[in-house]
Amino acid sequence: MQSLAVLNRLLTLVCRTTVGITFLALIAVVTIQIVTRTFGLPSPVWTEELSRYLLLYMTAFGIGLSLVTGELVNVDLLQEAVSERVSWWMRLLAAAFTAVLSAVMILPAWKFTAIGAFQRSPSLRWTMDYIHASVLFLSVLLCFFAVIRVIGMLAGTDDGRPQFVEEL
């Protein structure tokens, strides 16, 4: 259980860092778009494409963190209206269903990523497997964080409520 907590903290740190770097890159790309268009300069074609890809990766690396912090879609109003016991079971089932759904998505995401090796992006000319891999990362990370939540709830170390992600 201790090694799982260490892995969770490490993966949380990696995801937070990756989201930050991706967001910083997105800011840079959008700034290039704005500056070139504002001053009548030719706007690079690749900026539109790269900004979409950065958004995909930002979502992929942020999805698990959103589950932990409660920023993912949640039905708080209903959970607050029922008893704590019923609310706990609702949170457990939601985490378990999230884990199952994301686990089911992993194999199709893998196949989707593999198909991308035969395609190239229009302006950047990157193979699309690098881009399609964002869906695979999303599935794996969401599954991991949901499984960690279920294990924590069953072990009594997590109540399933949104948690503040402490500074690491």
Residue 168 pLDDT > 50: no
d(CA 8, CA 62): 14
Strand partners, 127: 120
Question: Regarding predicted confidence, which is higher, 79 or 6?
Answer: 6
Instruction: Report the pLDDT averaged over residues 65-80.
Output: 83
pLDDT value of residue 74: 72
- What DSSP character marks residue 45? T
User: Burial, 91: exposed, middle or buried (Cβ in 10 Å; 0-12, 13-18, 19+)?
Assistant: buried
Among candidate residues 120, 152, 117, the one with its CA nearest the CA of residue 9: 152
pLDDT value of residue 90: 93
Q: Which two three-digit tokens encode residue 137?
A: 């990362």
Q: pTM of the predicted model, to two decimals? A: 0.90
Q: What is the per-residue pLDDT across 96-149, written as a single tens digit (0 to 9) for each?
A: 999 999 999 999 999 999 999 999 999 999 999 999 999 999 999 999 999 999
Residue 165 pLDDT > 80: no
